[in-house]
Amino acid sequence: MEGVDYLADERKKTEFDVEEMKIVWAGSRHTFEVSDRMAKLVANDPVFRKDDRVMLARKDLFKNTLRKATYAWKRINELRLSEEEASKLRSFVDEPAFTDLHWGMFVPAIKGQGTDEQQKKWLPLAYKMQIIGCYAQTELGHGSNVQGLETTATFDPQTDEFVIHSPTLTSSKWWPGGLGKVSTHGVVYARLILDGQEHGIHGFIVQLRSLEDHRPLPGITVADIGMKFGSGAYNTMDNGLLRFDHVRIPRDQMLMRVSQVTRDGKIVQSDVPRQLVYGTMVYVRQTIVQDASIALSRAVCIATRYSAVRRQFGSSNGGPETQVIDYKTQQSRLFPLLASAYAFRFVGEWLKWLYTDVTQRLQANDFSTLPEAHACTAGLKSLTTSVTADGIEESRKLCGGHGYLASSGLPELFAVYVPACTYEGDNTVLMLQVARFLMKTVSQLGSGKPPVGTISYMGRIEQLMQCRCAVKKAGDWLNPNAVLEAFEARAARMSVSCAQKLSKFSNPEEGFAELSADLVEAAVAHCQLIVVSKFFEKLQQDIPGKGVKRQLEVLCGVYSLHLLHKHQGDFLATSYITPKQASLANDQLRELYSQVRPNAIALVDAFNYTDHYLGSILGCYDGNVYPKLYEAAWRDPLNDSVIPDGYEQYIRPLLKQQLRVAKL
Ligand SMILES: CCCCCCCCCCCCC/C=C/C(=O)SCCNC(=O)CCNC(=O)[C@H](O)C(C)(C)COP(=O)(O)OP(=O)(O)OC[C@H]1O[C@@H](n2cnc3c(N)ncnc32)[C@H](O)[C@@H]1OP(=O)(O)O
Ligand SMILES: Cc1cc2nc3c(=O)[nH]c(=O)nc-3n(C[C@H](O)[C@H](O)[C@H](O)COP(=O)(O)OP(=O)(O)OC[C@H]3O[C@@H](n4cnc5c(N)ncnc54)[C@H](O)[C@@H]3O)c2cc1C
């Protein structure tokens, strides 16, 4: 059976050039080549084996992660990998580790919020991993409300130092990844106090552990916060707690790009906005949007391949049963997720561009696009992670009973992914930020300042409030202008409706709180419009390869029309479409599913995932699922012996007791 491709017939149905689609998915030929090389490097190295992860007890699991992370660093240096290659290699190792926070938050926080001198001092140490850092912001009592953090940093002019202190139990830092057992340093967020006066939240570089023996420095209490959701999963990470008892650090360890504290204890604001203290979160939210397409595509790849292998019912005259992927219900659950993975890939690509653009502008002291960048990163992080987490769970259900097995890879993927809905900002809290941005935009309409970027459609508010959908037959829903206008009209009308209701409140904050559920819905509509419009923009590009652009047009249709179908209440309630037009959209959607069907396997092959990275028997490339499931069952430690441990102690006496009862 070895070497047989059970999905070969499926692959023969493909109507487009898969190799070219791989380049589109990766973003460029260069990125594809780097990814492909790094994925194979990891897959072929036994040190990076991960199939035993869910069986390991916490201490072994954690030590194993330390071993892999250290080995990855050794390989990165031996092979002289570039930053891009190293980051890909780490992502294919596919195990949350302290290095994620070191490279993903500690280094960016210093880069974004440190002065040139501070960067010169700290970055070389961090780049060589001579120090290991974490991002210590959240506390036991406050996460979302950053202004509510309680840790204090009081300037002592006598010694030219800050005194970092945890005044209450709830001020204990709680959650930072890499803090519990590994980090030697942290960027710690605390309330700045100068001469008895508070000056808001700022970041400070604080050494936590000795570089000699790794013991916590005097005044520092640090530990892991304990087991988290699921087996394996995020338990490879040492999320930590941290308390300070009047810990002293030199004045120059406050990150001073946004505000400086002078030798005599005065605060000087530079001309950059104070929101830049939140800059690291903007950066990470943008990377999380890119990662969403990866996590969702992994789940979809597993569910699609397995749906083509799995057969249930429908056999006549002893012929084969129906592949479950041919059931329209399966398609209507699976194909929108496949389309969403592609949609998130393209919006992630665009968001990366937006982030680079805003960063360049900030360097030139142009802060005009910061509010939009904040709204886009917050909203798209919220939207894509919510859909991805739900999509992974739906993929598990699409695989029936076998999806519940750890060897399907889906339970662990869900457990490792789902906190993305919470970290880097709770998804509801972030959508409320988008809503604030929308309400501000609506209130400024007509002020002479035309809305730009993702909000520019609001500049056509009068037209969007009055227009009616022109669709007459199902095929009209393939017209990008018809779809875009529908999403724009829905988003604009929902925002305006909220703004009108808000204006009736004498206290706007009270109104905002009262209407917050409606405001979140308006923000979701706006974010979905961004994703749809960026998919259409992608289709404007020159896309080579036989049939590639055509497949992407089909997926774009699936993405937008499934949203229109799912949220038809919004489109109907805002009176843009009629019930008949909603029904035509659904007819067109069904037709598009039929066009996806022969290409489904090739569309997931285009993700180019190795079997190692997928980590799923149900999703393996050759589709040889059943023998692999059978063999995996025998590898479970419970099957090491025929008679289980505990038989003598529990089962035997129980059976004997039943025997005695039966004799009576
Ligand atoms: C298999 C695949 C696996 C994938 C794995 C991926 C791995 C990725 C690694 C990720 C590792 C995760 C590690 C997690 C780390 C963390 O979680 S760090 C902690 C993150 N914490 C948060 O995100 C806290 C959320 N809260 C906030 O961001 C803010 O406080 C707030 C809620 C957004 C604002 O609260 P509020 O009190 O209303 O705000 P103010 O402080 O008063 O500011 C108001 C004005 O500032 C604007 N603003 C807010 N945030 C920003 C920003 N980031 N940038 C720019 N501007 C901002 C806001 O719009 C207001 O503006 P005005 O209206 O103009 O006044
Ligand atoms: C796996 C993981 C890793 C993490 N890593 C780090 C890290 O490295 N560093 C770090 O500093 N932090 C980290 N965090 C913490 C994380 O950033 C916070 O948990 C997150 O920001 C949410 O804050 P919270 O826990 O205070 O939630 P809460 O704000 O307490 O949320 C509880 C509920 O209240 C609702 N809610 C809160 N405020 C509002 C509001 N204004 N309006 C309406 N509803 C509201 C929320 O929607 C949610 O339903 C991590 C968390 C997790 C789970």
> Does the structure show a pLDDT above 50 at 241?
yes
Q: Is the Cβ–Cβ distance between 111 and 123 less than 8 Å?
A: yes
Q: What angle do CA 566, 567, 571 make, to 5 degrees?
A: 135
Residue 426 gets the label, from left (phi > 0), alpha (psi -120 to 50) or beta, of beta
Based on the residue annotation, tell me whether 424 is a catalytic residue of this protein: yes
Q: How confident is the prediction for the chain on average, in pLDDT?
A: 96
Complex ipTM more than 0.90, yes or no:
yes
- CB-CB contact of 425 with 144 (8 Å): yes
Tell me the DSSP string of 277-314: GGHHHHHHHHHHHHHHHHHHHHHHHHHHHHHHH-B-S-
- Reduced to 3 states, what is the DSSP secondary structure of residue 389? helix
Phi-psi region of 521 (alpha: psi -120 to 50; beta: other; left: phi over 0): alpha
Q: Say whether 508 sits in a helix, a strand or coil.
A: helix
**Distance from residue 496's CA to the centre of ligand 1 (Å):** 25
The string of DSSP letters for 49-60 reads --TTGGGS-HHH
190 CA distance to ligand 2 middle (Å): 17
pLDDT digits (tens, 9 = 90+) for 489-516: 999 999 999 999 999 999 999 999 999 9
| Residue 58: Cβ-neighbour burial (10 angstroms; 0-12, 13-18, 19+) | middle
Q: Give 565's contacts (C-beta < 8 A, 6+ positions apart).
A: 582, 585, 586, 589
User: Given 3-state DSSP classes, what are the helix, strand and coil percentages for the chain, each rounded to the nearest 5?
Assistant: 60, 10, 30
**What average pLDDT does the segment 462-477 reach?**
97
- Partners of 221 in the beta sheet? 243
Reported confidence tier of residue 659, pLDDT bands at 50, 70, 90: low
Residue 3 above 90 pLDDT?
A: no
Q: In this structure, which CATH number among 1.20.140.160, 2.102.10.10, 2.40.110.10, 1.10.1040.20 belongs to the domain 131-270?
A: 2.40.110.10
In three state form, how does the secondary structure of 13-40 look?
Answer: CCCCCHHHHHHHHHCCHHHHHHHHHHHH
Averaged pLDDT for residues 242-256? 98
Q: CA angle, corner 536, sides to 436 and 466, nearest 5? A: 55
Q: Span 556-583, mean pLDDT?
A: 97
Both tokens of 8, joined, read 């070969």
d(CA 526, CA 560): 13
Helices of type H across 95-138: 98-101, 107-113, 116-127
Each residue's pLDDT tens digit, 395-420: 999 999 999 999 999 999 999 999 99
Q: Minimum-distance ligand to the CA of 147?
A: 1
137 pocket-lining for ligand 2 (C-beta < 6 Å): yes
Tell me the best of 107, 291, 429 to mutate to test the pocket of ligand 2, counting ligand atoms within 8 Å of each CB and taking the most. 429
Spatial contact of 519 and 432, defined as CB atoms under 8 Å apart: yes
481 near 489, Cβ under 8 Å?
A: no
Supply 125's token pair.
Answer: 């140490």
Q: What is the β-pairing status of strands 152-156 and 185-194?
A: parallel
Q: Which position has the token pair 């004498």?
A: 506
Quote the CA–CA distance of 165 and 159 in Å, as a whole number: 16
* Residues with Cβ within 8 Å of residue 450, at least 6 apart in sequence: 456, 459
pLDDT band at 2 (very low <50, low <70, confident <90, very high): low
Which residue matches tokens 């810990």?
Answer: 247
Question: What letter would DSSP give residue 147?
Answer: G
Residue nearest to atom 26 of ligand 1 (CA): 144
Residue 662: predicted pLDDT: 65
Handedness of CA 34, 39, 42, 46 (dihedral sign): negative
**How far is ligand 1, taken at its centre, from the CA of residue 430, in Å?**
7
Domain 277-640 has CATH 1.20.140.10: yes
Q: What is the pLDDT of residue 664?
A: 63
| Structure confidence at residue 1 as a pLDDT band (50, 70, 90) | very low
Question: Does the beta carbon of 176 lie inside 6 Å of ligand 2?
Answer: yes
Alpha helix positions (H), 445-504:
461-466, 480-502
152 SS3 class: strand
Q: Tell me if 282 CB under 6 Å of ligand 1.
A: yes
Nearest CA to ligand 1 atom 58: 433
Q: Please report the DSSP string for 188-244 in residue order.
A: EEEEEEETTEEEEEEEEEEE-B-TTT-PBPTTEEEEE----STTTGGGGS--EEEEE
Over residues 44-72, the pLDDT tens digits come to 999 999 988 989 999 999 999 999 999 99
Strand, coil or helix: what is 133? strand
C-alpha 402/C-alpha 396 separation (Å) is 8
pLDDT at 270: 85
Region 550-579: what's the mean pLDDT? 97
Give the H/E segment covering residue 250: strand 247-250
Pocket lining: 64 vs ligand 2, CB cutoff 6 Å: no
Question: Which residues is 311 bridged to in the sheet?
Answer: 323
572-609 pLDDT per residue, tens: 999 999 999 999 999 999 999 999 999 999 999 999 99
Residue ranges for the known binding site for FAD are 138, 177
Cα–Cα dist 173/219, whole Å: 14
Q: Is any ligand 1 atom within 6 A of the Cβ of residue 433?
A: yes
Select from 382, 415, 383 the least CA-distant residue to 396.
415
CB of 143 closer than 6 angstroms to any ligand 2 atom:
yes
Burial of 548 (0-12, 13-18, 19+ CB in 10 A): buried
- Give the closest residue (by CA) to ligand 2 atom 5: 176
Q: Which residue has the tokens 């300042």?
A: 449
The Cα 472–Cα 588 span in angstroms is: 12
d(CA 376, CA 454): 8
Is the CB of 99 inside a 6 Å radius of any atom of ligand 1? no
Q: How far is it, in rounded angstroms, from Cα 121 to Cα 485? A: 52
323: tokens are 């592949």
Amino acid at 159: T
138 CA closest ligand 2 atom index: 11
Select which of 20, 150, 424, 521 is catalytic: 424
Q: Which ligand is nearest to the CA of 176?
A: 2
Q: Can you give the length of the chain in residues?
A: 664
Q: What tens digit of pLDDT does each residue of 217-232 get?
A: 999 999 999 999 998 8
- Please check whether residue 193 is in contact with residue 167, taking contact to mean a CB–CB distance below 8 angstroms: no
Atom 51 (ligand 2) nearest CA: 423
For the chain, the first-to-last Cα distance in angstroms comes to 55
What does the pLDDT look like over 629-651, one tens digit per residue? 999 999 999 999 999 999 999 99
Cα→Cα distances 421→246, 315, 426, 430, 433, Å: 34, 42, 6, 10, 15
Distance CA 184, CA 198 (A): 28
Domain boundaries defined on the chain: 131-270, 277-640
**3 state SS of 394:** helix
In this structure, are residues 338 and 596 in contact, taking their beta carbons and an 8 Å threshold? yes
